[in-house]
Chains A and B, each alone.
Chain A
Amino acid sequence: MSADACGNPAVETEATMDRRLKYDRSKACIKCKINAGRIVVRHAVYCKDCFPTLLSTKVKRSLEPHINPRTELSRRKSLKASGNLLIGFSGGLGSTVLLDLISKIYLSNRNELRPQDPTDGKARGGKDHPRNEPVWQKASMTDRGDEIKSLMQDKYQNLELIALRLEDAFDRKWWDQVGGRASTDVAIDVTNEDLYSRSISTSDMSDPIQKLRSYLSALPTHTAIDNAIRTLTRLLLLHTARRTQSSHLLLGTSLTSLSIRLISSISEGGGFAIREEAQEEWHPGNSSSSLPIRLIRPMQEITMKECSLWAWWNDLYVIGKEKRPGGKQGIAALTKDFIVGLERDYPSTVSTIARTCAKLAPKAEAVGSCILCERPLQPGVQEWKSRISIRATAPSSPSSAPVLRSLAPLLCYSCHTSLTSRSSKSISTKSENSPTPLPFWASAHLNALNTVNAKDEGGDVWITRRVGHNEMKGAIGEFLLE
């Protein structure tokens, strides 16, 4: 088929997107109909007075149904969370606006954005559990710690600040603090698609920053690095939520950012966990006995433009996120450029993406969770991969080293691809003999799985591993007629 516009007979609707007028009909505010409009949001015009209500309505709509342990659609029931509130703060525009809106709507005594009705119980932080904490994560280069500390002191005194660093994921002390299971350090060999793992002694690599650097430099593409940082951040936040007995973790992802994430994730093979990109429920320790922590994005109906204007009109100082060197070439960055470009000319595209993905569900039942990102694990990933691309014609020779555990079957498609899929300019600096450390939660999962199969007599341990398709073929190859 021709690679061009009408090469696909499945195209039945227009291939052109019309560039329409930027707003519908009149310039008066669509809500109060009196004031002159000041901002256009997806063809609707709003005045400066109605704008705050617009935003707070959207935040409440995204957040309130999920506050009570059982999803509540009736607005009459009072809001009562089962735990504390954790707000993820990256210093970026979205989280700055999130912090401002949440504190104005729920945490402040001045009823700026609250409705007048006093019985509308905002039984959040104030009543039952007074602690609300923004959490800050930092990459590794520059330190904006002071800026953030002073921001918190100025504006958000009733919030406790917890500082997190990316390298905490590799820090045994941090892992112990958040109540993680005891585990040995595990490292993997990234030069092989099977990702064989082995335990390493603590003395080999004890400095968390060194381990973080080792991990990031093992990744083969910029896309993988972006992905890894995002996953590390998310899990650091979730574990902190558990530690602070929070029932809800809020992130400042705007509609624009969400659409970027959705397309980005799909492009990285993460379609199975598409629902989790918008919102997820995380079970600490992977046991369903404790109440799950809800990761919610209250800004997900608010575009980046609205966030920007809110910040401008309310004089919010945006500290800004880390600029990672070389980050321009990853899939996340490419997607951002693409979506932001589209948003200007076709403003409804961004909301269409989010709405379409909200109508999707995974096709198969999950078989547990990925040990690296803790999202639902899709069955048959490795089998699918080996069917789609033939990478070997001869059976792979069995490893001469003692039988090692392969990580591959324990990873979701997205994480496995992240660790193994290369581009023409491979940026990984790893060789077979320099093993790559894993974040502590992954090591803990691996240890737990190994222990299940462990025989405790005098140190003998059974290690099970998945027998790959190629190995099977190697055993029976001579009998195949094809």
Chain B
Amino acid sequence: MSFRIMWSNQTFPPTLIMSSITLRVEFGGGLELLFSNIKQHKLTLPSIVPSNNGTKLNGEVLSGGETKPADVEYLMHHLRDNLLQERPELFMEDNTVRPGILVLINDTDWELEGEGEYALKDNDEVVFISTLHGG
């Protein structure tokens, strides 16, 4: 974990902000087949990310308004653009998960946590389960 002082126009005060968060991501229900058949993944994301979910990380400092705290919506884009091996349309559709994919945030239905807008915290666990597999 590294620390940097960052300025941003977000509403939180310019204090020390962790610049990245570590997450555990798991795939179930056959979804792992799209991700090199690996069910469990550990990854780090920047804590502040582009609002447009751009996942090309080139280290530039973005000005406010164009950024948001890393949320599940961003995580999805990151997974699709960096980890997904094939058939992206089976994972995402219209900026969110394809219908039939269940998302759990820390073992809780994401519909209770604000779905894509849930702001990720360090050490969170996010699970993506496909309900369409065979069923």
Contact residues of A with B, CB < 8 Å? 22-23, 27, 36-40, 45, 48, 90-94, 254, 257, 304-305, 307-309, 311-312, 318-323, 336, 340-341, 343-344
Q: Which of B99, B112, B129, B135 interacts with A38 by CB under 8 Å? A: B112
Cβ contacts under 8 Å, B29 to chain A: 93, 308, 311-312, 318
Majority SS at the chain A contact face: mixed
Give chain A residues whose Cβ lies under 8 Å from the Cβ of B102.
305, 308-309, 312
Q: Interface of B with A (CB < 8 Å)?
A: 28-30, 99-100, 102, 104, 107-109, 111-112, 115, 127, 129, 131-135
Residues of chain B within 8 A of A39, CB atoms compared: 108-109, 112
A327 smallest CB distance to B (angstroms):
12
Does B112 lie within 8 Å of A312, measured CB to CB?
no
* B108 closest partner in A (C-beta): A38
**Min C-beta distance of A305 to chain B, whole Å:** 6
Q: Which residues of A contact B127 (CB under 8 A)?
A: 312
Contact yes or no, B30 A320, CB < 8 A: yes
Extra contacts, 20 of them, besides A39-B109, A91-B134, A318-B29 (Cβ < 8 A), are: A22-B115, A23-B111, A38-B108, A38-B112, A92-B134, A92-B135, A93-B133, A94-B135, A305-B131, A308-B29, A308-B102, A312-B28, A318-B135, A320-B134, A321-B135, A323-B134, A340-B100, A341-B99, A343-B99, A344-B100
Which chain A residue has the least Cβ–Cβ distance from B102? A308
Given contacts A340-B100, A341-B99, A343-B99, contact A22 B135 (CB under 8 A): no
B112 touches A37 (CB 8 A): yes
Report the minimal beta-carbon distance from B84 to chain A, rounded to whole angstroms.
20
A93 & B108 in contact (Cβ 8 Å cutoff): no
Q: List 19 A-B contacts (CB under 8 A).
A: A27-B112, A37-B108, A37-B112, A38-B107, A38-B108, A39-B108, A91-B134, A254-B135, A304-B135, A305-B102, A308-B102, A308-B131, A308-B135, A309-B109, A312-B28, A321-B134, A323-B134, A336-B132, A340-B100
Q: Are B134 and A93 in contact (CB under 8 A)?
A: yes
> Whole-angstrom distance from the CB of A95 to the nearest CB of chain B?
9
C-alpha gap A364/B100 in the complex (Å):
38
For B131, list chain A residues within 8 Å (CB).
93, 304-305, 307-308
Contact B133 A40 (CB under 8 A): no
Given contacts A320-B133, A344-B99, contact A38 B28 (CB under 8 A): no
Q: A318-B29, A340-B100, A344-B99 are in contact. Are A22 and B134 (CB under 8 A)?
A: no
Cα–Cα, bound, A48→B104 (Å)? 13
- A311: B residues at CB distance < 8 A: 29
User: Quick check: B134 and A319 within 8 Å, CB to CB?
Assistant: yes
Distance A39 CA – B99 CA, assembled complex (angstroms): 17
Collect the chain A residues with CB atoms within 8 Å of residue B112's CB: 22-23, 27, 37-40, 45
Residue among B29, B111, B133, B135 facing the most chain A CB atoms (10 A cut-off): B135
Chain B residues with CB under 8 Å of A304's CB are: 100, 131, 135
How close is B116's CB to chain A, nearest CB, in angstroms?
12
Residues of B within 8 A of A336 (CB): 132
How far does the Cβ of A348 sit from chain B's closest Cβ, in whole Å? 14
A45 contact set on B, CB distance < 8 A:
112
| Chain A, Cβ-Cβ closest to B115 | A22
Instruction: Give the Cβ gap from A168 to chain B, nearest Cβ, in Å.
Output: 21
Residue of A nearest to B30 (CB): A320
A254 to B28, CA, bound (A): 19
Complex CA–CA separation, A308 to B129 (angstroms): 8
Chain A: minimal CB distance from B90 (Å) = 12
